[in-house]
Chain A
Amino acid sequence: MAADINEHDPSATIDHWDAERLFTAHAGFVASFLHRLGSHKNDIDDLVQDVFLTAHRKGGFTAGTAKPRTWLAAIAVHLLQNRRRGLKRRREDEQFEVLENSASTSQNPEESLELVESLRRVQRALDTLDVDHRAAFLLFELESESCLTIAEYFDVPVGTIYSRLHKARKMFLKAYQESDHQAAVGLSALASVWGLV
């Protein structure tokens, strides 16, 4: 059921989502979003629970201009900012865990390695952004959410979102280009050790 829900935009057909249904459909996204925001691995389980508990207290999600994911992301950012402890404790090696039980459909080890490298490059670039810029960037670039909706859910003027996105994009591109060269080594070398490529 969760897979079906994830594959299609749930807000297109269902007007109201209670917290339990939201959890089944979007907990994976929220965990991933928190990971990308820089939340520490050990905090993610608790934060995911808190996000949906907050969603429950708000009475669930009612379809409007935004997707449920954007609404949940806004809650996640709010909770993460309150905690203020994830970013400093992130460990580099956690990034290698991205494939564990991931939603990737990749079955081939070689493809998996490429996927890990891609995700690592993106994450390294994301790590140069603070939470506000990162959240706006993720929702705009990866979730294809509109600036107006992001502004609405983050309770800031749309100009602020424009500004954050411009700055985030600049910083992201700079960091990405710097780490691009490093991507050729690392896991590829490991893969050759294992004889996978």
Chain B
Amino acid sequence: MNAPERLLDDVTIGDGLKMDLCRARDTLEGGYDVEAGADLFRETLKREIGADPNTRLTAPLVGKPAFIGFLILGFSSAGLYYLFDSPSEVATTPPLTQLRSEPSTEQATSPNPTVVRTEAPSSAPLPEPASRPAPRSSVPSGTASVKASPTLMDEVEQLKRVRLALKSDAEDALRLAKEGHRTFPGGLLHEEREGLLILSLQKLKRVEEASKRAVIFQSRYPKSALLPQIASSLNRASP
């Protein structure tokens, strides 16, 4: 079978489809909040690196070459230790942030810790399990591994804060509404929160953004009780 031709290069394909494909190519969908995700990821990484070594073997993708490399480094470190060990050197465990990728159980429980380090190695034990986060039974799954699932009551309370903020500080209301969307994805109160978000955008004179969201809002919630309020607010704000 021959290599296919790309649709964008195919002269038999109409301009409409090409335009749609170009738009799809140039647009990142899903509205993912990279900053919030990055914060969460850093947090997850910290937990991942500081997790109990007994759970590290569950990482399915630690390759054998890496494992062998760690073993070699471990034994090399042991050799260096016996050659150059000095009583003045303090046996401390290096910061865990020095780890570039996690070792497996075998590495962590081997006679010599297989952590890559620049200082002279030590025979200090790994941190006590009690000082670490509770071991996990499986690979962490994003938010689920970091915080407990929010409840409906949490969502109600959060929405109250958005409402209160909207009366006095639209900027804060906007921030809280967006935070609510992130904290309660698919939450039962998304409709009201989104409505308040649009109203806060209108208060902040961000009319175009509010209009875009309003169109989407109406398509999703055509019977929403907030629609008249949004519409009248938009009409007032429109030039």
Contacts and interface: CB of A to CB of B under 8 A. Distances in A.
A20, A29, A60, A100: which has the most chain B beta carbons within 10 Å? A100
B186 interface: yes
A82 B34 CA distance: 24
B185 A41 contact: yes
B224 to A, nearest CB: 13
A41 B186 contact: yes
Given A24-B34, A49-B40, A147-B3, A98 B215 contact: no
Interface residues of B, number: 63
A14 to B, nearest CB: 16
B6 A141 contact: yes
Size class of the contact patch on chain A: 35 or more
B4 A162 contact: yes
B3, B220, B234: which has the most chain A beta carbons within 10 Å? B3
Contacts, number: 199
Nearest to A120: B20
Interface string A43-84: 011111110111011111000000000000000000000000
Contacts of B54: none
A87 interface: no
B4 A44 contact: no
Given A32-B29, A32-B32, A141-B7, A54 B61 contact: yes
Contacts of A141: 6-8, 21, 25
Given A47-B142, A98-B31, A53 B48 contact: yes
Interface in A88-103: 93, 96-103
Interface of A: 2, 18-20, 23-24, 27-29, 31-32, 34-36, 41-42, 44-50, 52-54, 56-60, 93, 96-104, 107-109, 112-113, 115-116, 118-119, 121-123, 140-144, 147, 159, 162-163, 165-166, 169, 173, 176, 180, 186-187, 190-191, 193-196
The 5 A-B residue pairs whose C-beta atoms are closest, nearest first, are A49-B142, A31-B32, A46-B142, A100-B31, A103-B28
